[in-house]
Amino acid sequence: MSAATVDSDGPSKILADFSCLMEPFPDAIFGMTVEGIIVSWNRGAESIFGYSSREISGSHLIRLAPPERHHEVPILLEGPSSGTPFHPAPTEVVTKDGRRITVCLSASPLTDCGGAVVGIAAIARDITEKKEKERALRHSEERFRAIFSLAALGIAEVALDGRWLHANQKLCDILGYSCEELATLRIQEVSHPEDVAAHRPLLDTLLAGTIESFSTEKRCYHRDGTLLWVHLNVSLVRDGSGEPAHFIAVVEDITSARALQEELRQSMDLLEKRVAERTLELTQTIETLQGEIAQRESLSRSLETRMAELLETQSELREKEELLLQQSRLAVMGEMIGNIAHQWRQPLNTLGLLTQDIGLTCRTGGGDPDTIDATVRKSMRVIEHMAQTIDDFRNFFRPDKERVPFRLSHVVEKTRSLLEESFSTQRITIEVQVTDDPVVTSYPNECCQVLLNLLINAKDTLEERKVRDPKVVITVGSEEGKGVLTVTDNAGGIRDEIIERIFERNFTTKGPEKGTGVGLFMSRMMVERNMEGKLSVCNVGTGARFTIEFPATG
């Protein structure tokens, strides 16, 4: 590279000769005037700073300085320009592409033959990578010191003979010694003797280079004599020549973990024992259950046979109940026929009298057409009344097909009208008391039949006991949301020894000519099975009271 010249005098010649002399060197070497004007620039400078000789020649040194350090450039030039060298020092500069790099910069004065300073020679070596490595190493050392001091595990450097070289606070806490006390001991002195002998082969293998590190669990003694369990990880550090230098030991206190492990082992042993015992119990239980299952299967087969027999028996009982119900209805029907006779006796007498009156009138030749017509109308009303009676009895025995809502008072009135003439003949008073008239959903005709059975039983008992002023009271009301109907007589009540049996099948206190004992049985069956109600009896005052409760009211 040709050196730039200012003029043809001696200083320019000296600077040019200096530049030619330094051209082969890789460092940045350049010459300046005492004022700091660059006049020569070698290839090393081009490589480091990025400027060519043509680009930089004539520029002031300040061009290479960061803006915030421009004020330092005159100070740097002051020494060499006065004959005092600027000794090598790290200096930050700016390259052509704007990068900031660190160079080791030195500057020396250039003198002529007479000793006068005619220029300045500067040498710059790029030490950016070196500075980065130094910073990285310093950061690594700081981080290691922080980890070493603050680690949650015990860390120590141990000499090859077992002396503690350095130990962090955590290791001192684990073993109970201060750092100064630990430095006076060897690792063998705090280790269990059996473990020292057992781990010697591992250390020999590590020193031989066969392995890089090893981990093990060992016993150590606390300063107070307590035996500790620790997990130990040992690595070997070698020097620059590859020879063993010292060990790095990482220590973790696992005494509590070992205690828990032992407790867990004991618990597992106990659990295995209990599992074995429980398994034996379950095996015995399974065998017992298998025996019971076999017995139950045998019993189940017996029950199936018995169930079949019961179903057959139930079918027979159902047929018998139907027969009993038919008998009960026939008995009631016989009673109704007697009531029809009572109901028709008076109308028939009336018809007889009216017929005789018409005949007498015709024989005597008397009577006017109006009188005859009036007599005929009276006869037709009587006949209509008798026909209505037949319809009432026919509807009474017509079976209900489905539940319907109805008022209890209507059932009472319908049943009372059927028996009114019969009761009147026996001079038995029927009194109806309605405190509340609930609507129930059931079978009205079956309700009539039950009430009819109760009234006929009351009538027969009053006749049999020849009660003075016989009376039957029918009440209609509701209790706790249920429709309630009662029939109470004054016949003296039911004897205590038989009151619990009167609803049994074929039980009767009447003679064979007056009943079969199925009326009350069938009445309870119709109330409880068909109407989902309840029929009960008790003695009150001077007679018996039968109570029918219906499940729903409206």
CA distances from 367 to 61, 355, 358, 372 (A): 170, 14, 9, 7
- Biggest alpha carbon–alpha carbon distance for the chain: 203
From the CB of residue 319, how many other CB atoms can be counted at a distance below 10 Å? 10
Instruction: Give me the mean pLDDT over the 337-349 stretch.
Output: 57
From the CB of residue 72, how many other CB atoms can be counted at a distance below 10 Å? 13
Separation of alpha carbons 100 and 127, rounded Å = 12
Report the sign of the C-alpha dihedral through residues 114, 116, 117, 119, in that order.
negative
From the CB of residue 365, how many other CB atoms can be counted at a distance below 10 Å? 6
Separation of alpha carbons 431 and 416, rounded Å = 10
Separation of alpha carbons 516 and 533, rounded Å = 24
Contact 525, 459 (CB under 8 A): no
Contact 456, 335 (CB under 8 A): yes
pLDDT band at 12 (very low <50, low <70, confident <90, very high): low
- Write down the pLDDT at residue 324: 58
Separation of alpha carbons 505 and 109, rounded Å = 147
pLDDT band at 394 (very low <50, low <70, confident <90, very high): low
Average pLDDT, rounded, for the chain: 81
- Write down the pLDDT at residue 8: 39
Write the pLDDT tens digit of every residue in 286-309: 988 998 888 888 888 888 888 888
Count helices and strands in the chain by DSSP H and E runs:
13, 17
Highest-confidence range of 24-33, 241-250, 368-377, by mean pLDDT?
Answer: 241-250
What percent of the chain shows pLDDT beyond 90? 27
What is the model's pTM?
A: 0.37
* Beta pairing partners, 227: 221
From the CB of residue 206, how many other CB atoms can be counted at a distance below 10 Å? 18
Residue 343 has phi, psi (to 5 degrees) of: -65, -35
Residue type, 549: E
Write the pLDDT tens digit of every residue in 483-508: 999 999 999 999 989 998 888 876 77
CA angle 232–233–235, rounded 5-degree value: 140
Alpha helix stretches (DSSP H) within 365-433: 369-396, 408-425
What six digits make up the tokens of 105? 């910069």
CA angle 137–139–144, rounded 5-degree value: 95
Contact 37, 31 (CB under 8 A): no
CA distances from 87 to 61, 119, 125 (A): 17, 16, 13
What percent of the chain shows pLDDT beyond 70? 78
- Write down the pLDDT at residue 540: 94
Instruction: Give me the mean pLDDT over the 60-68 stretch.
Output: 93
Write the pLDDT tens digit of every residue in 87-139: 888 999 999 999 999 999 999 998 888 888 989 999 999 988 888 887 877 77
| Kind plus residue range of the DSSP H or E element containing 546 | strand 543-550
- Write down the pLDDT at residue 400: 55
Residue-wise DSSP of 117-173 = EEEEEEEEEE-HHHHHHHHHHHHHHHHHHHHHHH-SSEEEEE-TTSBEEEE-HHHHH
